[in-house]
Amino acid sequence: MKERNQRLDFLDAAPRPLVTPSILDCDFSRVGEELDALERAGALAVHLDVMDGHFVPNLSYGPPVIADWRPRTDFPFDAHLMMSDPGRYLEAFVKAGCDVITFHIEAVPDPTELLRTIRRSGCRAALALNPPTALEAVLPYLAEVDKILVMSVMPGFGGQSFEANVLDKVRAIRAARPGLVIAIDGGIKPANAAEVVAAGVTQLVVGSYVWREDGNYAASLAELAEAIRRGRI
Ligand code: DX5
Ligand code: ZN
């Protein structure tokens, strides 16, 4: 079993752009098998959507559940905390085995201390911003983050439509910090994968598109990879 620093080294070494499946739409009666299937399909990390029923109008899962998945897989866990008070539960998410921890600027308008606490705990720290939130909200903190997550839907549910106008924020962040990891989350599929990469995205969170009825997740990932490759020619 890998330790956190090994999982983060593995994540750093992963080729970019990187597609990280969100398991929000997987079969929760057999998550272990779904994680194995993603690994066989060639995924290198997974995105974990945590929803508190307050910051977003939906509930998902929390630290005790993630802790049970941790020994089941060596995937780096990319946690997306859609929560009103992420600091209150931070230690629990670190202990549960999350590796990259993202929280929302709308929930924590002065995020410096929490970002530093996350980094001190050995995890990577990231800030997310919703589609209506201006870029200026996160710009002062670019030196404190390992990643910015640009939401391309209002968070809370999988399967919503991609909002292309958020790509202006991606381009501006890319210009301000050429080496920073920029993730996008919401409505990503082959039809828009090349466009988001061209704007500067290096991590594509993909939920509903991955979870096909036939279980052929390798085909979903291959279609996304092919769309990104074609966009680069
Ligand atoms: C949205 C979540 C996403 C979501 C993505 O609230 O943060 O990670 O699961 O799902 P799709 O790709 O279906 O938009
Ligand atoms: Zn997410």
pLDDT in tens, 210-232: 999 999 999 999 999 999 999 87
199 pLDDT higher than 90 = yes
Q: If you take atom 4 of ligand 1, which residue's CA is the nearest one? A: 158
Residue 78 catalytic?
Answer: no
Q: Which residue blocks in the chain are alpha helix, DSSP H?
A: 4-13, 31-40, 63-69, 86-96, 112-120, 167-176, 190-199, 217-232
144, 115 Cβ separation under 8 angstroms: yes
199, 170 Cβ separation under 8 angstroms: yes
> Rounded to the nearest whole angstrom, what is the distance from the C-alpha of residue 149 to the centroid of ligand 2?
9
Which of 28, 58, 208 to probe ligand 1 with, by most ligand atoms within 8 A of CB? 208
Q: If you take atom 2 of ligand 1, which residue's CA is the nearest one? A: 155
- Confidence at 233, pLDDT banded by 50, 70, 90: low
Q: Which atom of ligand 1 is nearest to the CA of 58?
A: 6
CATH T-level topology, domain 4-232: TIM Barrel (3.20.20)
Ligand nearest to the CA of residue 189, numbered in listed order? 1
Query: In terms of Cα–Cα distance, which of 86, 98, 107 is closest to 151?
Result: 107
Structure confidence at residue 231 (pLDDT)? 85
The torsion angles phi and psi of 76, rounded to 5 degrees, stand at -60, 135
Name the amino acid, one letter, at 33: E
Of the residues 25, 99, 146, 185, which is catalytic? 185
> Rounded to the nearest whole angstrom, what is the distance from the C-alpha of residue 143 to the centroid of ligand 2?
22
Question: End-to-end CA distance of the chain, in Å?
Answer: 39
Residue 12 catalytic?
Answer: no
153 lines ligand 1 (CB under 6 A): yes
**For 16-49, how does the pLDDT look when each residue is reduced to its tens digit (9 = 90+)?**
999 999 999 999 999 999 999 999 999 999 999 9
The torsion angles phi and psi of 186, rounded to 5 degrees, stand at 125, 110
**For 121-171, how does the pLDDT look when each residue is reduced to its tens digit (9 = 90+)?**
999 999 999 999 999 999 999 999 999 999 999 999 999 999 999 999 999
Instruction: Measure the CA angle with vertex 137, ends 170 and 123; round to 5°.
Output: 75
Q: Which atom of ligand 1 is nearest to the CA of 152?
A: 14
21 lines ligand 1 (CB under 6 A): no
Structure confidence at residue 65 (pLDDT)? 98
Name the amino acid, one letter, at 96: A
Q: Roughly what angle, to the nearest 10 degrees, separates helices 190-199 and 167-176?
A: 30
**For 77-98, how does the pLDDT look when each residue is reduced to its tens digit (9 = 90+)?**
999 999 999 999 999 999 999 9
Report CA-CA distances (Å) from 88 to 92, 112, 114, 167, 175.
9, 15, 10, 32, 33
For residue 80, the SS3 value is strand
Of the residues 49, 52, 78, 99, which is catalytic? 49
Which of 55, 104, 160 to probe ligand 1 with, by most ligand atoms within 8 A of CB? 160
Ligand nearest to the CA of residue 19, numbered in listed order? 1
Rounded-to-integer distance, Cα 191 and Cα 171, Å = 19
Residue-range domain boundaries for the chain? 4-232
Q: Quick check: pTM over 0.85?
A: yes
Name the amino acid, one letter, at 44: L
